[in-house]
């Protein structure tokens, strides 16, 4: 699979116990709205950073007002479809859409949350807490659902 090739190329000379345990990979899938050709942009992560904003939908605004946000809601925001302005190499169409997926889950997943946002020339601390399940199955957020993995919650800080 293309994501595996990219991952192995990026880590060819950097493999260690730490990378084996904590390194994951995110894929941004960009689909052309003209010819429906898809392309992928991959990036590595040590911790999966989730955020409830900036968001424009009513549902997301409601989430940000609530004091406690379910982790799954933040994962859905991470994966939501966005408009993409990207020139297609096949049909020259300028319009597309994109999704984020997790293309490689690490053995131990660290999730962190964006707690500050830049607003009116200063950083403002976001006031929300996140509801964690004891067991988290991420198959719905992976590029290939058979690569999904269930995690047990170990530590919160």
Interface ranges with Zn ion (CB under 5 A): 32, 34-35, 37, 88, 90-91, 93
Peptide bond connecting 48 to the previous residue in cis, omega within 30 degrees of 0: no
Pairing of strands 95-104, 82-85: antiparallel
Least Å from the CB of residue 41 to Zn ion: 16
The single residue listed with the structure tokens 């052309």 is 32
Report the residue number, 90 or 132, with the smaller CB distance to Zn ion. 90
Nearer of residues 84 and 130 to Zn ion, judged by Cβ: 84
Residue 61, SS3 per DSSP? helix
**Measured CA distances, 110 to 1, 11, 46, 120, 143 (Å):** 24, 19, 7, 31, 19
Q: Give the residue with the Cβ less far from Zn ion, 86 or 147.
A: 86
| CB of 82 vs Zn ion, minimal distance in Å | 17
Taking the complex as a whole, the smallest distance from the CB of residue 35 to Zn ion amounts, in Å, to 3
Q: Give the shortest CB-32-to-Zn ion separation in angstroms.
A: 3
The smaller minimum CB distance to Zn ion, of residues 14 and 95, is found at: 95
CA distances from 134 to 22, 55, 71, 72, 155 (A): 19, 27, 11, 12, 10
* Minimum distance of Zn ion from residue 38's CB (angstroms): 10
Residue 31: other Cβ atoms inside 10 A: 18
Cβ proximity to Zn ion, 92 vs 145, nearer residue: 92
Phi, psi values for residue 79, rounded to 5°: -100, 0
């Amino acid at each position: 699979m293309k994501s595996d090739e990219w991952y192995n190329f990026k880590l060819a000379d950097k493999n260690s116990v730490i990378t084996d345990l904590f390194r994951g990979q995110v894929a941004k899938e960009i689909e052309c709205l003209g010819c429906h050709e898809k392309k992928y942009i991959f990036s590595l992560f040590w911790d999966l950073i989730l955020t409830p904003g900036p968001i424009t939908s009513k549902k997301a605004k409601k989430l940000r007002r609530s004091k406690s946000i379910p982790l799954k809601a933040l994962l859905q925001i991470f994966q939501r479809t966005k408009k993409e302005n990207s020139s297609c190499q096949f049909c020259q169409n300028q319009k597309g859409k994109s999704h984020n997926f997790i293309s490689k889950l690490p053995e131990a997943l660290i999730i962190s949350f964006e707690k500050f946002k830049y607003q009116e020339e200063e950083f403002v601390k976001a006031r929300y807490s996140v509801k964690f399940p004891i067991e988290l199955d991420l198959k719905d957020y992976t590029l290939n659902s058979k690569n999904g993995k269930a995690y047990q919650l170990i530590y919160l800080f």
